[in-house]
Amino acid sequence: MSNVLLETLSSLVFPVECEICGQALIPNPPLGICENCAEDIQRIPPPHCEGCGRTLIGQNTRCAECQKESYAFDRAFACALYEGPMRELIHTYKFKHRKYLKHFFIRMAEEFIRSNIRFADCEIMLPVPIGAHRSLERGFNQSELISTEIAKNLNLPHSSGNLIRIKSETAQSLLTKTDRKMNVKDAFSVRRPELFRSKNCLLIDDILTTGRTASECAKTLKESGAASVTILALARGV
């Protein structure tokens, strides 16, 4: 029995409500958010800054802040701002084990990919990895649940468990901008570099803030021979 069917059957026994306002929802599959609350999520429209994914003003390819930064990835995108209902949904998904919320995030990410990302830049998809301790603590990699389904739905190759975290993990949100960069330095490794050689990689993450984790992942992938790395996050820190 598929996971979607199990989640739908479960929601029929335990009616699903909107995680934001509490309105009862029709499951199929259970998305965890009503249409009104979904409309309150602040999407990030194009044109997008190549460095941070925010909406650009003017003709440059990067915003003023990102022109001062150096990233190993080629482009970064984010579906929405990390505030309001989006912030609450991601927090609930990650820390309250509401795994069924992945269906809403998958739908949002697929719509964004179709509208904003060239399929030529998506030869192989993979998630930003989390450390072994974090995986045991949380029970799942929030980005991997989403990237696996997106790749399947878009008929793209998916790599799971090949880009790995080898350095102990301190939550980036607890650190300063400088410390975040050092926290992820040399934190990742590739098990099977031949999978990424000469490939355009699409790397999926939940939240993009300073971009340091994504950049370090991209550096590791390019050292393994990847042709390019594009980042897609569910949300962009404000």
Give the Cβ contact number of residue 64 at 10 Å. 10
**pTM (two decimals):** 0.89
Residue 137's pLDDT is 84
Decide if pLDDT at 208 tops 80: yes
Q: What is the mean pLDDT of residues 207-231?
A: 96
Alpha-carbon distance of 11 to 25, in angstroms, equals: 9
For domain 47-80+119-236, give its CATH number from 3.40.50, 1.20.1260, 3.30.460, 3.90.175: 3.40.50
Q: Would you place residue 5 in the very low, low, confident or very high pLDDT band (cuts 50, 70, 90)?
A: low
Q: pLDDT tens digit string along 89-111?
A: 999 999 988 898 999 999 999 99
- d(CA 120, CA 21) in angstroms, rounded, equals 39
Measured CA to CA, the distance from residue 208 to residue 1 in angstroms comes to 34
List, for residues 149-196, the tens digit of each pLDDT value.
999 999 999 999 999 999 866 665 555 555 666 677 889 999 999 999
Please answer whether residues 5 and 42 qualify as being in contact, where contact means their C-beta atoms are separated by less than 8 angstroms: no
Which phi and psi angles does 165 have, rounded to 5°? -95, 125
Under DSSP, is residue 59 helix (H, G, I), strand (E, B) or coil? coil
Distance of alpha carbon 216 from alpha carbon 176, whole angstroms: 17
The per-residue pLDDT for 11 is 46
Tell me which range, 11-15, 54-58, 138-142, 215-219, is most confidently predicted by mean pLDDT: 215-219
Predicted pLDDT at 26 = 79
Query: Is the previous residue joined to 30 through a cis bond, with omega within 30 degrees of 0?
Result: no
Amino acid letter at 210? T
pLDDT for residue 180: 63
What is the longest distance spanned by two Cα atoms in the chain?
Answer: 53
Distance spanning both ends of the chain, measured CA to CA? 40
Domain ranges of the chain: 47-80+119-236
115-140 per-residue burial string, b: 16 or more CB within 10 A, e: under 16: ebbeeebbbbbbbbbbbeebeeeeee
At CB < 8 A and 24+ separation, what contacts does 10-14 make? 11/100
Length, in residues, of the chain: 238
Q: Assess whether pLDDT exceeds 90 at residue 47.
A: yes
